[in-house]
Every structure is written in C-alpha cells, then in structure tokens.
Amino acid sequence: MIEYEKLLNYRIPEVRQRLTPRDVVFYALSVGLGQDPMDKRQLDYVDQDKALRVLPSMPVVLAHPGFWVSNPETGVDAVKVVHGEQSIALHAPLPIEGEIIGRTRVTGLVDKGEGKGALLYSEKELRDTHGTLLAVTGSTTFLRGDGGFGGPSGPVKPVNPIPESAPDITVDLPTRPEQALYYRLNGDDNPLHSNPDVAARAGFPRPILHGLCTLGVVTHALLRELGHYEAGSMKSMSLRFSSPVFPGETIRTEIWRSGAFRARVVERDVVVVNNGAAVFG
C-alpha cells in the first residue's frame, strides 16, 4: 500500500555512469539504427570508426536509476506498473565519453481513486563532472494497482494537441523480435519485457517492448525527417504512451511539420504513441 508522503519523498540514489563510445553505439543499435548498412547517416551513430554522434533520446538511459519502484519500500505494485509519458529537454551537447551523473526524484503523485490507479511523476537531471546540465528527462508512471491511498487528485499534466489534418510525413521503422532483450541491457531490467510469466500476470499475451525503446524508434524517425540526422538539432520532445508494442512489429511515425507527432503499429493499426511534440532548431 502506498504511503503518500513516504513515496513523494522517497530517496532515489544518485547514479554515476562512465560513458564510453561503445555505450553510445549499443544504445543506437538497441533502438534500431544500423538496419540499413548503406545509409551513411545512420552509420554516424553506430560506427566507432567515424566521428560518432549521440542519438538525442539517449538521456533516457544515461545514469538510469533502474527499476526502483520494485523496491517493496515504495509500496508500489510493481507488476502493474506501466510507463505513461516521457519528456526530454536537451541543454548541452551530449558527450560520447566521460562520467555522467544522474539525480532522479519524485516530483508528484496523483491518486485517481480506488480501482483507477495512480500517476507518479519523476524527473532526472543529467550533469557532467563539471556540473554542466546536459539534459532533463521527465516521466509519468501509471501505477495501475495503487489507487485509493488518499492522495491528491491533481494536478494532472496537460497533453499536447494533435492536429486534425493528415500528417505531413509518415515513417515506417521495423522492430526486431529480440529487441527488448537487447534494449534492457541499457539498464531497464523490468522483467515485463523479458519474462512471459511476468507479462501474463500483468495482462499481456507476451513480453512487450519497453516504452522507452518505442520512444527511441520514434526519435529516429523524427531525427531523420525534421533534423536530417544532425544530433544537435533536437531541443526537446514529449509524448504519451497509449498502447504497448510487441517486439517484431513495425512502428509508423506520423509527423507534422509543426513538430507534432504520433505513432501506430502497422500490423494492428493501433496508436501506440500519442500527443507527441518535438522542437528542432
């Protein structure tokens, strides 16, 4: 059972990560870059023999605190946890090597009521050893089994609007059947993405792709079309996860020139990412 004040003030240990070019390459490969060996622009993110670039969604895995909500002290029913929303704000160029310091904290907790779950808001600041702020990531976690603990019913973050017009660009990018097994080596080891029994207990027919892996695939599409593969072109993005992706499915990202976007699984025609907004410049 969640105790509001205890979870709101739960101390998440600081994480220090020694970043290497190998980590940069592995992250890009884990979200699907490099599948076209003739696309030299993708090779800039996966070939250590080139002037390596960092995919702008990588802050979500840097100095990652792990699946900390699974600690029994949080009071969270970890089996029923689902990633709801994610944002990234980039403040300085991301390095390809060096020590990265991540400080994560709970910033809000919303009780949606008995049987309706709860929302947990958290934020991670990434800095280098000189104290330079590199990026801030924000996350909304839907605690499906934990409503009714007597917490506040708001405020709830507003969503980004999606235009009523048809998208200006569509990009289809495939995922691989084993992709979640690779992606979890970035530090997100929730067994929901690897263990069929855990997935079944959570109500899924098989392990699902990490929401943050889906975010990486969508970031690839945005970077290709709006940023022309320039790593420093993306300034921020935010999105809402609306349905899971099963590894092996194709993700179609629908993009508007304004920076609005959403994504759907081609095979099931199900929207998996909605209310997306990206800023390039």
The residues annotated with a catalytic role in the active site are: 188, 193
Pick the closest to residue 134 from 166, 103, 176, 171 (CA basis): 103
Would you call 269 helix, strand, or coil by DSSP? coil
List the Cα angle 203/144/104 in 5-degree steps. Answer: 115
8 A C-beta contact, residue 217 and residue 32? yes
Pick the closest to residue 82 from 7, 141, 139 (CA basis): 141
Pick the closest to residue 178 from 197, 206, 204 (CA basis): 206
Q: What are phi and psi of 221, to 5 degrees?
A: -60, -45
Paired with 103 in beta bridges are 125
Rounded to whole angstroms, the Cα distance separating 57 from 231 reads 10
Pick the closest to residue 212 from 82, 42, 101, 92 (CA basis): 82
